[in-house]
Structure 1
């Protein structure tokens, strides 16, 4: 699952983070394999602005579920800093940490500038990914300007300690091809770029070159999925996510509205068309309907994993959605053996 620590109307960021922590404990019990958190900035409805800090807290509150970034927006950070942060997380919780990387700022241009994101940083993304991997592996060649520099904690001369696996995240063909060329696992953001999913996965698989990390492509697809006791209630719970996205696209980010606010909003015909198209990419229904929808998506994409995300206003409804999906899949108490 992918979580943004959503802050709903009437909630505080502290309450949102506490709800995410409790959700992490629950989904671990229900048999979910991974929980990732995303880096966003300047968004009142998203409390996951600092994935390393939040992941450290979630790792201390759980014991078996894999935790990772979905993702760290690498151009916002120096590769060495990210290597140190995730090397620390791996040292504290070996074998449980994933490092997912993206090249978008995760915010608006003004906030990106305040973060210190330099011009052209996205274009340098491939080099930054390579530098980050070398910092983690202590693998800069002689003569390189960073030769002799180490990320500590890191492997630090002890390969048996390993390091967090690197994933590339994307919503277009660029990161798909880069992940393939670098021999890395790839996660595609179907939940907000569903029109390009199949093309991106094809590009990834065509570009893939075996590496020390992978000998064949490994793809994950993230999808918005909401389950409730009825399909009608699931559609009602999904309304706030669509309204939030419409406001965000207008440059008006805010806290996640309640389902009542979303249902009562006076949509124009053009706005209603946006809402309908946005929700058309969701998998909605009761547990069994969502299970069938997810199975159909996995069949269409041939994904190795599906990662579900649910931007739901209330923590109780959010937990219930993940519980129903777990029950429909017979997941309780089961663990995946995937790396």
Structure 2
């Protein structure tokens, strides 16, 4: 069985009976617990104009999370580059790396993480919203982080660089990550059917770089674990319903498990949910262990990043703790965090 580190991707979910302040406090508590359990890294995702997600400002949230933890790597999963000028991102993450050297990850994505109207409000112009502009802006950002004297200087300039990752859910970013020699994180929880083809493209196109001698692929997977298979599915349903509402253009805060259980899914909605379930790790510890092992066997991932949208903090913590308890911790990871081994 392949041994890999486990990490967490969090969206600071906002429950229907709570507010964003509570959501951010819950994310902070989860980061603390993740460090204690031995997870490798803790990332937050950039999304906008979504009432169920409070992680709209990754750099701000990461400064807080890094200050509230000591050893776990913290990072963006990701910063959506079309929404920002490269210099601003270089300054933000140069500041974070200066404050918390050796602990900062900069995961970069090329989607806006929102609807087109909100994306325009963020960037104030249509320029930079095209996928064709992304490679040039990414190259500019990396050059600024590295202190290229031909570019405007990003100040503060850290002694070291944040670890730069490229994120994706298709082969576009997979190929670009390979050509640039960057570590690559694939959004299996968004696009399960595309995972293996994209990872093959990444590995085939990989060129050694200052970042990596060999390809390093992380797979982000939705994982909800509970004492029984039935209770895990009960906990997962609010996330499915919230995503359905988002896709329908009527986003809501995360509903209660009771509300989600009572919801009458139409045949089309049920088919959509069943499609979303493909590739998820969902169930008791034994069930989840088998599902994650199967995913590793198929993808050859070097690291797994777990994410979920569970309503109650206690259930969310319990899910990640149960998965941590499946694992051994025999080695020290490259960033000093303990590696969890399935």
TM (normalized to structure 2)?
A: 0.93
1:189 Cα deviation after fit: 0.2
1:120 Cα deviation after fit: 4.7
1:280 Cα deviation after fit: 2.7
Q: Please give the alpha-carbon distance, in whole angstroms, between the structure 2 residues aligned to 1:327 and 1:118.
A: 48
| Alpha-carbon displacement from aligned partner over 1:241-276 (angstroms, at most 9, x marks no partner) | 111111111111110111111111111111111122
Structure 1 match to 2:279:
281
* Structure with the larger RCO, 1 or 2 (CA within 8 Å, 6+ apart): 2
Distance 1:323-1:334 versus aligned 2 partners, 3 A rule: farther
1:136 corresponds, among 141, 145, 153, to: 145
Please tell me whether the aligned partners of residues 99 and 167 of structure 1 are also in contact (alpha carbons under 8 angstroms).
yes
Structure 2 match to 1:337:
334
Structure 2 match to 1:163:
161
Please tell me whether the aligned partners of residues 98 and 166 of structure 1 are also in contact (alpha carbons under 8 angstroms).
yes
SS at match of 1:255: coil
Matching of residue 154 in structure 1 with residue 157 in structure 2? yes
Q: Please give the alpha-carbon distance, in whole angstroms, between the structure 1 residues aligned to 2:313 and 2:230.
A: 19
Distance 1:335-1:11 versus aligned 2 partners, 3 A rule: farther
- Ranges in structure 2 where 5+ consecutive residues have no aligned partner: 1-7, 337-342
Q: Please give the alpha-carbon distance, in whole angstroms, between the structure 1 residues aligned to 2:121 and 2:287.
A: 44
1:119 Cα deviation after fit: 2.4
Distance 1:75-1:140 versus aligned 2 partners, 3 A rule: farther
Q: Please give the alpha-carbon distance, in whole angstroms, between the structure 2 residues aligned to 1:77 and 1:217.
A: 27
Please tell me whether the aligned partners of residues 6 and 16 of structure 1 are also in contact (alpha carbons under 8 angstroms).
yes
- Ranges in structure 1 where 5+ consecutive residues have no aligned partner: 156-160
Please tell me whether the aligned partners of residues 7 and 45 of structure 1 are also in contact (alpha carbons under 8 angstroms).
yes
1:98 corresponds, among 78, 85, 105, to: 105
Structure 2 match to 1:251:
249
Structure 1 match to 2:122:
115
Structure 2 match to 1:317:
315
Q: Please give the alpha-carbon distance, in whole angstroms, between the structure 1 residues aligned to 2:86 and 2:268.
A: 43
Where do residues 13-162 of structure 1 align in structure 2 (5 Å cutoff)?
A: 13-116=20-123, 118-121=125-128, 122-141=131-150, 146=151, 149-155=152-158, 161-162=159-160
Please tell me whether the aligned partners of residues 9 and 307 of structure 2 are also in contact (alpha carbons under 8 angstroms).
yes
Q: Please give the alpha-carbon distance, in whole angstroms, between the structure 2 residues aligned to 1:112 and 1:230.
A: 41
1:118 Cα deviation after fit: 3.2
| Structure 1 segments (4+ residues) deviating >3 Å | none
Distance 1:53-1:338 versus aligned 2 partners, 3 A rule: closer
Please tell me whether the aligned partners of residues 41 and 111 of structure 1 are also in contact (alpha carbons under 8 angstroms).
yes
1:83 Cα deviation after fit: 0.5
Q: Please give the alpha-carbon distance, in whole angstroms, between the structure 2 residues aligned to 1:97 and 1:162.
A: 10
Greater mean alpha carbon deviation, residues 29-38 or residues 261-270 = 261-270
1:50 Cα deviation after fit: 0.1
Structure 2 match to 1:226:
224
RMSD: 1.4
Q: Please give the alpha-carbon distance, in whole angstroms, between the structure 2 residues aligned to 1:323 and 1:337.
A: 22
Structure 2 match to 1:158:
none
| Alpha-carbon displacement from aligned partner over 1:20-66 (angstroms, at most 9, x marks no partner) | 00111111000000000000000000000000000000001100000
